[in-house]
Structure 1
Amino acid sequence: MPETSRKKILVVDDESDVADLVAYHLKANGFAVETVNDPTRSIGLARSFIPDLVILDVMMPEINGIQICRMLRADPKLKQVPVIFLTAKVEENDRIQGLENGADDYICKPFSTKELVLRVQNILRRTTERPIDAPPKLITGGIELDIERHEVKINEEVVELTATEFKLLHLLMERRGRVQTREHLLINVWNYETEIETRTVDTHVRRLREKLGDEAEWIETIRGVGYRMAERRAQESSA
């Protein structure tokens, strides 16, 4: 499959049988796959392999998946790489913690290999494809979002956003003036179609606002509903 043959996936799981099973099905669908069972080697391998996506177990000895995900997000070369948590931790708070720590998706064990492959394909499609008629840049006030360079500038200064923060800002700017419910954001930013607490959306919006600084007021809170990228600055509306 030429669409996925160039995509590289890193699988990190201390259970070799799980890692091998995942790798087998990903390779069968045209992906290049590297596996690692020792979590302490995961970051080093990721830096040399430079994957397009990482599948990461959570409960591992010495260093857990949450910690590895944080290190990926702190690495300049890896911070934009999508992460899927594949774990036996199935409680709602576990899923929320995973999403709040930068994961793009969360799949519970036992899992369907077919569903896993589809989720990998969907995430890679979202992060690499852009509609033909979509503008290469979105601008709101002093916020400039460059889709092709995956870069955000605030008043000409580059601001570092996580992959999830970038997707959240992109969606709000793309649909400027339209209210986005928390549930809609969970589906379109985190790819979650199940009922989980929406406070993870509020957490990411709060962090995004902090990084936007003086331009944060463009993101309006619609109480009891969700968020909206304003069409006018607050002071302009009241003028």
Structure 2
Amino acid sequence: MTGQILVIDDDEKILRIFNLLIKSFGYSPVLVNDPVKGLEMLRENPPSLILLDLMMSPMNGLQFLDERRKIPGALKVPVVILSAWRLNDEELAPYADSIAEVVVKPVEPARLKEVIARHTG
């Protein structure tokens, strides 16, 4: 693992903010606005952590998690869901092996730093 944080979100404003924050926390952000591209990045150069939005297209975050299971070794990379879309326990249950934590947006910078530190060792 590398100290790289892969951020997958289709909102360019969110990506710019997370880029600045993650750099200020001492990590290397890798920003992707398309979940399909995120899967490619995961195959090519697995990050230390994935921050994943749920409401995206052409693939949403849950579909990303389904596809991620098909990539050898990908389940070793923790995924933190960062989304305004709130999932209930029933919706999250099929992804229990795929999600390290769920954080509801908006997230305060100090909370984001804490979450990243917790899941990157």
Q: Shorter chain as normaliser: what TM range? A: 0.7 to 0.9
Cα RMSD after superposing both structures: 1.6
Mapped to 2, the partners of 1:8 and 1:99 lie a distance apart of 28
Structure 2 portions without partners, runs of 5+:
none
* Aligned residue in 1 for 2:35: 39
The alpha-carbon deviation at position 116 of structure 1 amounts to 1.1
Structure 1 portions without partners, runs of 5+:
1-5, 126-239
The answer as to 2:74 corresponding to 1:70 is no
Q: How does 1:1-239 map to 2 (within 5 A)?
A: 6-91=2-87, 93=88, 97-98=91-92, 100-101=94-95, 102-125=98-121
Aligned AA (2:91) = Q
The alpha-carbon deviation at position 107 of structure 1 amounts to 0.7
Residue pair 1:66, 1:98 contacting (<8 A) in 2 also: no
SS in structure 1 at match of 2:73: coil
Aligned AA (1:26) = I
The alpha-carbon deviation at position 100 of structure 1 amounts to 3.8
Q: 1:96–1:40: structure 2 CA closer, same or farther, 3 Å change rule?
A: same
SS in structure 1 at match of 2:120: helix
Q: Deviations over 1:163-209 (max 9, x none)?
A: xxxxxxxxxxxxxxxxxxxxxxxxxxxxxxxxxxxxxxxxxxxxxxx
Q: Number of residue pairs matched?
A: 118
Aligned AA (1:124) = T
Q: Deviations over 1:94-131 (max 9, x none)?
A: x6534641211001111112201111101222xxxxxx
Q: 1:110–1:47: structure 2 CA closer, same or farther, 3 Å change rule?
A: same
When normalised by structure 2's length, the TM-score is: 0.87
Mapped to 2, the partners of 1:96 and 1:112 lie a distance apart of 27
Counting aligned pairs with the same residue, the percent is 27
Aligned structure 1 segments of 4 or more residues deviating by more than 4 angstroms: none
| Structure possessing the higher radius of gyration over alpha carbons | 1
The alpha-carbon deviation at position 25 of structure 1 amounts to 0.8
